[in-house]
Amino acid sequence: MLNVPLFVLFARIFSCMMLIMTKKKLITPEELDNLVSVGNPQIAPDAMQILYTRKCAKDGVNHTTIWLAQTKGTVKPRQLTTGGKDRMPRWSPDGTKVAFIRESKTGSQIYTIDMDGGEAQQLTHFPEGSITEMQWSPTNGSLAVSYRKTEEPYTHAAGETRKENKESDPPIITESAWYRLDGDGYFGHARFELYLVDTTTGSYKNIWSKDTMGFFSFCWSPKGDNIAIATNTSKDAITDSLPTKIVIHDVSTGKNTILPNCTKGPKDAIIWSPNGKYLAWAGREGDESTYSTENLELYVASATKGNAKSITSDIDRCLMAVTLSDTGDVSFGSWLHWTHDSKNILVKIGWHGEEQICTISRNGGKLKTLTTGKAIHSISNFASDGKNCAMMVGSATTPPEIYVGKLGATTLTTKQVSFENTQWCQEHAVATPKDTWITSKDKTKIHCWIMRPPSQAANRRNKPAVLQIHGGPHCQYGWMFFHEFQCLASAGYTVIYCNPRGSKGYGRDHCDAIRNDWGGADWVDMQSVIAMMQKDKKINRKNMGVMGGSYGGYMTNWIVGHTNEFTGAITDRCVSNLVSMGGNSDFADKEDGYFGGNFWSRPEDRWRQSPIRHFGNVETPMLIIHSEGDLRCNIEQGEQVFAALKLRGIEARFVRYPHSTSHGFSRGGALDMRKHRLNEILSWWNRQLK
């Protein structure tokens, strides 16, 4: 040491200090408190500013406010509202005002802000209820609003009165099969209806109340004289989308006219062309909803004569191929937008784990991709020039951020304008997944991702690995940031995830392969993924776990009933028994629909595909995670798994989350519950995997 020149010694000491100072943090469940979720960007009519929502932790709870970013220059975004429960900002067509929704204990109300200055002012005074969508009229004078009034016995005021009188909560009474929805709760016979709100006085009137389920979509005509509504008024709407129609509402007369010559089947995301001559929507022929193994197609029709035609029927792409994540809202819907000249339509397409913006002529033809890269792209709205737009872009290593896009003849260029998580990503050991393709036994190509743990992760020498299986099943994993995956990687686990048959993003046949055959082609594909893991030299084949949520929980249950290759398993908000599932989900299974037979007198198909049928074979220790407030996959599905394991003497742990949580709480629920769940997962793997 004495022979080393002082400047070299100092350089070495400085390098060591810098290494210590710049050592990146491992990602833990608690880091949820420091991640920011952005959403719903809206570009101003003059394209100079973009509104967006910013959700982050404040005092241990989610706090959502509206922010304003400049599209040019380097000025940092500024906070526009402070309510903490503000969402859905919308520019007025002249750019002078912003309308948004503010939530409270007594429901949703619309507020407005004058962009020349001043505080937010309450515009509406709806009775207690919910708002799901609102659109400014092109003339600034009205807002079209989807609003549902809460039934009186279930209002906040009624609840407070019962507390004062020491009375019990009332029963829920219904004569409709549609009375609850996961994440929305029990709403009884109340339905979302369409209202017009005067933007000066806040007065409102109902213009459409006939939709059976309240799932209608709507849009203004360019002149603001009409509103198009895609709606299903059938009493059997919960099981039959054939009657879905397009209604044209005349704003001045109140007259409703049904658009003629439209195909029978679901219709959603309706949009009016700028020249007023055409309507476009996402749909298909048939009685199923927009969520199906079949591709959701793009339809164009005359705004007066109808004559609807699918212009993508010969293109094997689905308009609803959703990519899952836990750092942003997941919406099973479509996005469409007309170009300024009314000649082309923009759509968002999920394909091979990406989501890209594409364009197609209104007359049909080739689908042209405008964006590129291993990323998730989405557009919210366009400025008045029809060129500039508000976007969100995310990847597997960066949570979504706000961008301004500019539409050209053949490309859509992007510029980032929010940097909410940039520093967080720089400070943390974010694992980078690599994708690969494998071939299953029947020659099917399966898209897989491998996420290795960062170098400083503690468990790398034991080579543990976790296979993650997505829910749906008709959606996809892909190039989207997943905090849960990053937690596992930071804890030393190699994370494997894939899109087996049943997934969207690989064509109609790939998705349709498991229709009425869960545990068939998907299990063939998963066996090949398991074999890939076993051959991986960086994975200890005796130190592997499997986990998944919803349908991913189904497949986890199926796997442990058919193989003992995994040391442990986690089944989350699972499906275990398709017979009982048929009647206790918020969407009841109709007879001879997606599954054959029915769940009351012809249950054979459902029982054949039920994992619980094979639990006499299970030897794998299991953690069962479920929410008592789950209305999609009822908690009895997890209870059956736990009961079967305990009766057979198999190691099991059951974590039941309260009624305040729902099926999707791992993505957007209360922060304390989300962190608790992640810590339970890590604790279980620490217990089962060496």
Query: Which DSSP letter does residue 656 get?
Result: E
- Which of 605, 514, 506, 590 is CA-nearest to residue 551? 514
Per the annotation, the verdict on 550 as an active-site residue is yes
Given CA atoms 182, 349, 358, 411 in this order, what sign does their dihedral have? Answer: positive
- Record the tokens describing residue 345, joined without a space: 């339509």
The secondary structure of 352-407 as a DSSP string is TTEEEEEEEETT----EE---SSSEEEEEEE-TTSSEEEEEEE-SSS--EEEEEEE
The secondary structure of 122-143 as a DSSP string is E---PPSEEEEEEEE-TTSSEE
- Which of 572, 555, 565 is CA-nearest to residue 520? 555
In whole angstroms, give the CA distance from residue 20 to residue 258. Answer: 69
| Residue 468 · residue 547 · CB < 8 Å | yes
| Residue 585 · residue 632 · CB < 8 Å | yes
Q: In 3-state terms, what secondary structure has residue 525?
A: helix
User: Of residues 325, 503, 550, 662, which has the active-site annotation?
Assistant: 550
Residues 6 or more apart in contact with residue 645 via CB below 8 angstroms: 615, 618, 622, 651, 652
Query: Which DSSP letter does residue 7 get?
Result: H
Amino acid at 430: V
- Which of 447, 632, 607 is CA-nearest to residue 516? 607
- Record the tokens describing residue 323, joined without a space: 């990519």
Q: In 3-state terms, what secondary structure has residue 214?
A: coil
- Record the tokens describing residue 492, joined without a space: 């030393």
Query: Which DSSP letter does residue 152 get?
Result: G
Judged on CB neighbours under 10 Å (0-12, 13-18, 19+), 283 is: buried
| Residue 557 · residue 574 · CB < 8 Å | yes
Torsion on CA atoms 523, 509, 290, 575, rounded to nearest 10: -10
Cis before 222? omega within 30 = no
Say what angle helices 551-560 and 521-535 make with each other, to 10 degrees.
70
In whole angstroms, give the CA distance from residue 324 to residue 482. Answer: 9
| CA angle, 376 then 378 then 381, to 5° | 165
Amino acid at 193: E
Per the annotation, the verdict on 337 as an active-site residue is no
Active-site positions? 550, 663
